[in-house]
């Protein structure tokens, strides 16, 4: 009985193999081209007709079609530049037909010649084919070096191919790109230039998803974008993330943060940020000092506002006095308008009246302390925001 049981198990295991062997013996009686056709249709259904058409054409056309099969990224490209199209063809011909690694200069030349999004599609197609060739033929498992990857991201930004640029931040990709914070900074710089808070938010999410560390330069760009798009809530959200990650914020980052709080008239946030700044930097920058002065003006303390400005002015050399004049001009002409804009309707008149009296009081205190101040206080009386 045990012998019969083993026999049945062996028979069941060998049964599928017998069927395969029968099929092979069946088609082997036919001519060889029939055997190949039968196997192709059974293993790769629908592919045989394509192969027949390919080999029925001239050898050169056949090679071009073979090369096109490797080019999934460039299938729908309509308007590449001639230089990029030529380099794309040469590189793919080298790796897919000649089976040899093309010169590095070709790839760098392709990157330099990219002018539009179609060119970038050709670039990414080349990167995918080069990665495949390095892996299968050269047994190189590493991605391309960071310098190349950053240049790809920079090129995507240069031509406005932002979706391709975001793909350069994925840790797992078919193009052999190594994501880095430096590449992300190119995209954030684009978002800053175009005041695109949505793109910034997308880039920050990609950094988190792909485990890329936050850096001081990242915070600087993010804070500037939030400031320029007047998105305080977004700045608060990311300030918590940067502080939690232990990122050492730059002086310029604190300047933007404090200036934004002062522009909104949020003195509580302003003093909290200044306290956080003092834990890292002992002395104010010029921008930071004027933000504190604005905070004191909002609290109806013009003498203390003058004291903060006096300290920073003493530390400034004479050749940089023009920067002081620019800050005074911004305080009178721009900041007062921004403050009124962020006030409730019932508070606007009171705030306008306090600024019209406290700003001259601050300037007089500075003059009395011996500081030469060039500021046209007549502008206060011409300011429409303060006349409401």
Q: What is the pLDDT of residues 193-207, one digit of tens each?
A: 999 999 999 999 999
Residue 99 lies in a domain: yes
Q: Which position has the higher pLDDT, 116 or 344?
A: 116
Residue 170 within any structural domain of the chain? yes
Alpha carbon distances (Å) from 172 to 121, 133, 167, 179, 350: 18, 17, 10, 9, 58
Q: What SS3 state is found at 263?
A: helix
- Residue 76, number of CB atoms within 10 A of its CB: 8
Confidence (pLDDT) at 386: 62
Q: Is residue 228 part of a domain?
A: no
Query: Which of 95-104, 224-233, 310-319, 360-369 has the least mean pLDDT?
Result: 310-319
Q: pLDDT digits over 146-193, tens only?
A: 889 999 999 999 999 999 999 999 998 899 999 999 999 999 999 999
Per-residue pLDDT tens digits for 255-304? 999 999 999 999 999 999 999 999 999 999 999 999 999 999 999 999 99
CB atoms within 10 A of CB 89: 15
Cβ atoms within 10 Å, residue 49 = 10
C-alpha distances (whole Å) from 26 to each of 21, 41, 44, 72, 330 are: 8, 15, 19, 38, 91
Average of per-residue pLDDT across 207-226: 97
Per-residue DSSP letters for 327-383?
A: HHHHIIIIIHHHHHHTS-HHHHHHHHHHHHHHHHHHHHHHHHTT------THHHHH-
Dihedral, 197, 203, 205, 210 alpha carbons, nearest 10: -170
pLDDT classification of 51: cutoffs 50, 70, 90: very low
Looking at residue 33, its pLDDT comes to 39
Distance CA(257)–CA(252), nearest Å, equals 9
Domain count, the chain: 1
- Per-residue pLDDT of 12-25, as tens digits, reads 544 443 333 333 32
Q: What is the mean pLDDT of residues 225-245?
A: 97
- DSSP letter at 281 equals -
Residue 291 lies in a domain: no
Predicted TM-score (pTM) above 0.85:
no
Residue 59 has pLDDT above 50, yes or no: no
Residue 282 domain-assigned (yes or no): no
Which string of b and e fits 250-278 if b means at least 16 CB within 10 Å?
A: bebbbbbbbbbbbbbbbbebbeebbeebe
In a domain, 13, yes or no: no
Mean pLDDT score, 202-223: 97
Q: Is the pLDDT of residue 373 over 60?
A: yes
The H-assigned helical ranges of 265-344 are 267-278, 286-298, 302-315, 321-330, 336-341
pLDDT given at position 255: 97
As given in the structure block, the two tokens for residue 370 are 């011996």
- Domain for residue 184, yes or no? yes
Mean pLDDT for the chain? 81
Whether the Cβ atoms of residue 334 and residue 384 lie closer than 8 Å to each other: no
- pLDDT grade for 385, boundaries at 50, 70 and 90: low
Over residues 112-126, mean pLDDT: 96
| Residue 74 pLDDT level (bands cut at 50, 70, 90) | low
Which residue, chain included where needed, has tokens 């191919």? 161
- Residue at 137 is within a domain: yes
In angstroms, rounded to a whole number, what is the distance separating the alpha carbons of residues 197 and 304?
36
Contact indicator for 159, 119 with CB cutoff of 8 Å: yes
Name the residue range of residue 153's domain.
Answer: 80-212
Confidence of residue 361 (pLDDT cuts 50, 70, 90): very high
Confidence of residue 108 (pLDDT cuts 50, 70, 90): very high
CA distances from 57 to 37, 53, 63, 70, 94 (A): 18, 7, 10, 19, 21
| CA distances (Å), origin 197, targets 166, 182, 231, 236 | 15, 19, 8, 14
Amino acid 4: pLDDT: 45
């Amino acid at each position: 009985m045990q012998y019969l049981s083993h026999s049945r198990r062996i028979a069941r295991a060998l049964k599928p193999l017998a069927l395969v062997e029968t099929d092979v013996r069946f088609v082997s009686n036919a001519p060889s081209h029939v055997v190949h056709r039968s196997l192709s249709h059974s293993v790769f259904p629908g592919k045989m007709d394509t192969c027949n058409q390919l080999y029925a054409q001239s050898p050169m056309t056949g090679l071009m079609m073979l090369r096109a099969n490797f080019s999934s990224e460039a299938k729908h490209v309509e308007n590449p530049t001639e230089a990029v199209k030529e380099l794309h063809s040469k590189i793919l011909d080298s790796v897919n037909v000649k089976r040899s690694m093309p010169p590095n200069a070709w790839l760098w030349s392709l990157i330099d010649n990219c002018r539009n999004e179609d060119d970038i599609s050709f670039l990414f197609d080349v990167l995918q084919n080069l990665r495949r060739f390095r892996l299968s033929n050269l047994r190189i498992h590493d991605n391309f070096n960071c310098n190349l990857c950053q240049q790809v991201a920079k090129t995507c930004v240069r031509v406005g191919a932002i979706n391709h640029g975001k793909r350069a931040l994925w840790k797992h990709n078919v193009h052999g790109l190594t994501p880095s914070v430096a590449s992300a900074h190119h995209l954030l710089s684009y978002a800053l230039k175009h005041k695109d808070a949505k793109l910034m938010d997308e880039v920050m999410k990609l950094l988190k998803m792909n485990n890329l560390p936050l850096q001081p330069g990242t915070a600087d760009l993010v804070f500037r974008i939030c400031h320029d798009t007047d998105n305080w809530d977004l700045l608060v959200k990311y300030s918590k993330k940067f502080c939690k990650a232990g990122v050492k914020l730059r002086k310029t980052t604190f300047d933007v943060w404090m200036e934004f709080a002062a522009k909104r008239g949020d003195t509580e946030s302003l003093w909290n940020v200044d306290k956080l700044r003092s834990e890292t930097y002992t002395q104010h920058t010029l921008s930071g000092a004027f933000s504190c002065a604005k905070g004191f003006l909002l609290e109806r303390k013009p003498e203390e506002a003058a004291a903060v400005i006096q300290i920073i002015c003493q530390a400034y050399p004479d050749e940089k006095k023009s920067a002081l004049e620019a800050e005074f001009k911004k305080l009178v002409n721009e900041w007062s308008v921004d403050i009124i804009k962020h006030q409730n309707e019932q508070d606007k008149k009171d705030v306008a009246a306090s600024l019209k009296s406290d700003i001259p009081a601050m300037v007089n205190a500075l003059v009395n302390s011996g500081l030469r101040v060039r500021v046209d206080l007549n502008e206060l009386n011409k300011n429409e925001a303060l006349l409401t």
